[in-house]
Chain A
């Protein structure tokens, strides 16, 4: 009985599994010439940073260029104003027609037409027509001026 008791007193301990999860071995690859590799990598990084710095420089140059374009445009506009308005006024007109943008000529014609139809109820329509004859943009106006000048030059030849 005793033996049985002693046997029964033996508490069965849970079997602790001694299986340790072993890490899989980390395999390494030996790279040849590591010093050069590191050096190349760092140099590569340096070149990229220099590239980015160049981008900032390039952006600044472009901004400066745009402002210069604006300045040049203003200067040429002033020149045009000086030559077209002030200088031409001081010189005798001669027999040549004055250079007027086509839109302005059309406007003048319309004004004359409107004057002829004095106090007619169609005045509102005439004003609308005038608005339509405005040059679409400055470029068109310049083009018409250029054509006019070329025609005058042809006449001079």
Chain B
């Protein structure tokens, strides 16, 4: 099966070559889109990280405020 030759008509051959160009172009487009999706995913991850840090900061501050309320001076 591997050694069997494959023949393509000349007119079809040119068409196939053009087709291959289009396929390659489309593949590049798909790769680019996937790359953008990946970038967006990274942005999402970064945003989630920022949220996590922000919440940790808020938690710290709330704890400080809570402590200030619970331990007033001369009470």
Contact = CB atoms under 8 A, between A and B. Distances in A.
Interface stretch (A55-63, A97-105, A131-139): A55-63
The A interface, classified by DSSP as helix, strand, loop or mixed, is helix
Contact of B26 (A54, A79, A92): A79
Contact of B72 (A29, A51, A72, A83): A29
A123 interface: no
Contacts of B61: 40-41, 43-44, 47
Interface residues of A, number: 38
A91 interface: yes
Interface in B49-75: 50-51, 54-55, 57-58, 61-62, 64-65, 68-69, 71-75
Interface residues of B, number: 42
A111 interface: no
Contacts, number: 102
A151 to B, nearest CB: 15
Tell me whether chain B's interface is mostly helix, strand or loop, or mixed: helix
Interface string A124-144: 000000000000000000000
A64 to B, nearest CB: 6
Interface in B9-45: 12, 15-16, 19-20, 22-23, 26-27, 29-30, 33-34, 36-37, 40-41, 43-44
A-B CB proximity, top 3 nearest? A44-B61, A75-B30, A32-B73
